Amino acid sequence: MVKQILLILIMFCVLDANEIKVVFSYSTPPYVFGEDRGVAISIVREALQYKSHTLKPVFISVGRRIEMFKHGYVDAIPIVKNDSGPGAYYSDFFIRHHSAAFALNSRCCDIKNVEDLKNYRVIAFQNAQKNLGQAFANVVKASSANYSEVANQKQQAYKLLENRVDAIVLDRHVFEFYKKELISQGKVDEGVKVDIFDLFEPTQYRLAFQDENVRNDFNEGLRAIKKSGRYDEIYDNYSKQYFRMKI
């Protein structure tokens, strides 16, 4: 009986060891949907599955993920820079976002470069000033009174489309998703015209892991699904509805 109990405990420990808690933002479709799907979730899940790990998504705000990671509450978090503190093991790049500035065509905004944004009221996604380069960080510092960041990207798109702000900074495909959704919900006029300003290089994301071996397993799985064509297939499955983009 004692041996059976020990065996069960060992089995549970093995199962727990293979369940990897990875942080994702609440909803950044089509990369992450609140119901546990999306491009990023699918890529991470299948890369981990390659070495028999099970993904457990943890949905929290961007601002809390570093704290959660440092206290050991989660096994991995997506990052742009290797700044998650001592003990982190960084994966290969697994996904990217491509942000742009958006403004209503009716406002006739004159935006030729990042520095021009200082002349407008801008709402960006959370942590944009940390992730979009030094030139953008300088603009934020110089015009802090006209700049804000929000976690709710649907509201961000809605404020632009309702003419409540001069410009927003957001991933192209996230904006396009929410624009279509707001139009379909009757909250925004279908004929609304938006100018897109291509000011930023794509932002590459890694995962920071607590465990070096799990990081190595993830990288191996990521290479495998890329080599097999499954990585592109995941993108293609979502692009049929939402967008067309490859890394």
Distance CA 48, CA 107 (A): 46
As its CATH architecture, domain 2-96+203-239 has 3-Layer(aba) Sandwich (3.40)
Outline where DSSP puts E strands in the chain. 19-24, 54-59, 76-79, 89-90, 95-97, 99-104, 122-125, 147-150, 167-171, 194-197, 203-209
pLDDT over 70 at 52, yes or no: yes
Task: Give yes or no on whether 2-96+203-239 and 99-197 have one common fold.
Answer: yes
Tell me what percent of the residues of the chain surpass a pLDDT of 90. Answer: 73
DSSP labels, 28-42: BTTTBBTTTBSHHHH
pLDDT over 80 at 16, yes or no: no
- pLDDT 10s digits, 55-67: 999 998 877 888 8
Distance CA 210, CA 22 (A): 11
Which of these, 135, 123, 31, 136, lies nearest to 78 by C-alpha position?
Answer: 31
- pLDDT 10s digits, 197-227: 999 999 999 999 999 999 999 999 999 999 9
Q: Classify domain 99-197 at the CATH class level.
A: alpha beta
The per-residue pLDDT for 179 is 94
Cα 66 off chain centre by: 14
- pLDDT 10s digits, 181-190: 999 999 999 9
Domain ranges for the chain: 2-96+203-239, 99-197
Tell me what percent of the residues of the chain surpass a pLDDT of 70. Answer: 88
Report angle CA 198, 203, 204 to the nearest 5 degrees: 150
pLDDT over 50 at 19, yes or no: yes
pLDDT over 70 at 8, yes or no: no
Report angle CA 23, 24, 29 to the nearest 5 degrees: 170
